[in-house]
Structure 1
Amino acid sequence: MDQHLLVFVTVVEKGNFSRAAEELHMTQPAVSQYIQMLERTYGTKLLDRTNKFVRLNKAGEIIYYHAKEILGLYSKMQNLVDDLTNRASGPLSIGASYTFGEYVLPHFIAKLHEKFPLIKPKIIIGNTKEIAELVMGHQLDVGIIEGDYKDSKLTVEPFAEDIMYVIASTKHHLAQKKEVSISDLEEETWIVRELGSGTRMAAEKIFRHMSIAPKDVMEFGSTQLIKETVESGLGITLLSQLTIRKEMSMGLLKIIPIVGTPFKRKFSIVLRTSFKTKALEVFIDLLKNYDALN
């Protein structure tokens, strides 16, 4: 890549030499030298300078426009060569719903870094609806969501199974029973996730399936907050086994014995296009083959 053009573009976009030097991990005199050499090459000044900022002049505008195009071609050329040599590298934006993103995804990212250190993942965590919308809006390369999400404009592919249980504090009276009835469940306060969450969708699906009409429902936007509230004895909830391992091992939460449990749902990969970079291909392959759910 032409270092002179890269330095020039960075100076223009950062607005001054010191910020450009910081971005490029160079000294300010080195940045100035690169700009001076570029100006000597073209035989004219390219920047109007003051103590506080730099600004493109007419000649600079021409160089900047074509420099961006040239640097873009360098980047495209490198990506094509990397793909040809099967060297997965570059940025990869990944979104995941809370259960998978907070309790499973870190294991995948560690494995990804171990096998493909040149891939630079950027992670966003949100509920199922938020992640799907970010994929739709081209803000994520791939999403991982919970439940039966459908959108004709997205490709949704299940890749793993999740197991869910109704949970209470170990001191809760339902946790002491050998079997719990539908009427018992209806009398309790249910702590549920917000609308748009895959865990909320699962809870509502189970309410319909078991014909449960809870008398009291409280809505929280955090799985951790739900666990702590249930642990305090305020109510019961439906959560993935992945989120309660620590609390179960410490004897803080207990599975309520209900006929027909546990409940099952799917984790799915969400894409907006069939085109995949090499980095995205290896990440999806890792998801499908690396067993971090057990």
Structure 2
Amino acid sequence: MTLRHMRIFVAVCECESVTAGAEKLFIAQPAASLAIAELEEYYGVKLFDRIARRLYITEAGKQFLQYAIHIVSLFDQLEQDVRNWDQIGVLRIGASITIGNYLLPEYAKAFQKLYPAIQMHVQIDNTEAVERAVLKNEIDVGLVEGEVASSYIEKICFMEDPLVLICSVDHPWAVREDIDINELRGVDFIMRERGSAGREIFDQALRVKKVEVVPSWQSVSTQAIIRAVAEGLGVSVLPNLFVKESLEKGEIASTRIRGLDLKRSFSVIRHRNKFLTEAAKSFIRLCTGEDSMI
């Protein structure tokens, strides 16, 4: 098998069409079809199911795609580095929203002192989006909250942060040390969007206790949630890093949910097949505390 076969396979998967994949690579459609057929014959597996004139990638195809993406990417990186050895490099970082707001700026500042000639390209999104970007090789290293689903992801936990139940200072819960979980029933909740790590941890804890909460508001903006809670429009469960300042200022109040220990872990993630430069490895060491913050 050649790099050309892998490049064609990746293009067909990205475009979900042999014709579109061929057009992307400026080759004829029969040539792309032949390359896919040769791959399937060589490995003795079906990479696509062909149903109603559409392609559906098989489980074997998904596994092959994870390797092919990184083999093609590694070759392209080799070409770029050898041809442009003296050019400034780029480190692509993805971070979940909490980490991007509260931790990444410090890590980035320390990294740039060590590697002033390397540019950092940063993508901030929820954990699911960062994981997808790692799998698609759109970023080199991800900093995320909570769990990751793919077996192709390697992760190193570097910090834990508790989740806090917050309410307005005028709310009856504001003067209570803790509440029973059943008191959450029927309460107006203002929550982060599905896919955010904190939301997933809270939802899972409620499922275990067989308590259902239906958010009246959902938002990707934590500041919007905090302001709505402060105005008495509902309660919320948010990361301590997000609400610490507002709690210290007395803008909102907090209490505990009896019997629930809500914490999420922060992790550095990378694709297990990803080749990491020394600069990328150094960035990971900064995040995990193996290198001191300079």
Give the TM-score band, short-chain normalised.
Answer: 0.5 to 0.7
Q: 1:148/1:200 Cα in 2 relative to 1: closer, same or farther (>3 Å)?
A: same
Q: Which runs of 4+ in 1 moved over 4 A?
A: 69-72
CA shift at 1:173, angstroms?
1.6
What does residue range 283-294 of structure 1 map to in structure 2 within 5 Å?
Answer: 283-289=283-289
Q: Which amino acid aligns with 1:133?
A: R
Residue in 1 that maps onto 2:128: 129
Deviations 1:178-220 (A, max 9, x none): 3312232113111111121112211212212333212554221
What does residue range 201-240 of structure 1 map to in structure 2 within 5 Å?
Answer: 201-214=200-213, 216-240=215-239
User: Given the alignment of the two structures, is residue 194 of structure 1 paired with residue 193 of structure 2, yes or no?
Assistant: yes
Q: 1:291/1:74 Cα in 2 relative to 1: closer, same or farther (>3 Å)?
A: closer
CA shift at 1:120, angstroms?
1.6
What does residue range 269-288 of structure 1 map to in structure 2 within 5 Å?
Answer: 269-272=268-271, 273-288=273-288
CA shift at 1:274, angstroms?
4.5
Deviations 1:35-88 (A, max 9, x none): xxxxxxxxxxxxxxxxxxxxxxxxxxxxxxxxxx99853424x58xxxxxxxxx
- Aligned-partner SS, 2:269: strand
Residue in 2 that maps onto 1:73: 82
The whole-number CA distance in structure 2 between the counterparts of 1:120 and 1:290 is 22
What is the aligned length?
214
The whole-number CA distance in structure 2 between the counterparts of 1:144 and 1:162 is 14
**Which ranges in structure 1 are unaligned for 5 or more consecutive residues?**
1-68, 80-88
Moved more, 143-152 or 279-288: 143-152
CA shift at 1:121, angstroms?
0.9
For the pair shown, which has the larger CA radius of gyration, 1 or 2?
A: 1
The whole-number CA distance in structure 2 between the counterparts of 1:259 and 1:167 is 14
The whole-number CA distance in structure 1 between the counterparts of 2:254 and 2:261 is 9
What does residue range 82-121 of structure 1 map to in structure 2 within 5 Å?
Answer: 90-121=89-120
Residue in 1 that maps onto 2:165: 166
Q: 1:253/1:291 Cα in 2 relative to 1: closer, same or farther (>3 Å)?
A: farther
Residue in 2 that maps onto 1:25: none
TM-score (norm 2): 0.66
Q: Which amino acid aligns with 1:73?
A: V
CA shift at 1:257, angstroms?
3.0
Q: Which amino acid aligns with 1:283?
A: F
Verify the 8 A CA contact 1:108 1:290 in the aligned structure 2.
no
Deviations 1:129-157 (A, max 9, x none): 11111111111011111112220222233
Q: Which amino acid aligns with 1:152?
A: S
- Aligned-partner SS, 1:159: strand
TM-score (norm 1): 0.66
Moved more, 146-155 or 258-267: 258-267
CA shift at 1:261, angstroms?
4.9
Deviations 1:249-291 (A, max 9, x none): 1101222132235521211112113421011011000000079
Q: Percent identity?
A: 29
The whole-number CA distance in structure 2 between the counterparts of 1:128 and 1:70 is 31
The whole-number CA distance in structure 1 between the counterparts of 2:137 and 2:255 is 41
**RMSD, matched Cα:** 2.5
- Aligned-partner SS, 1:257: strand
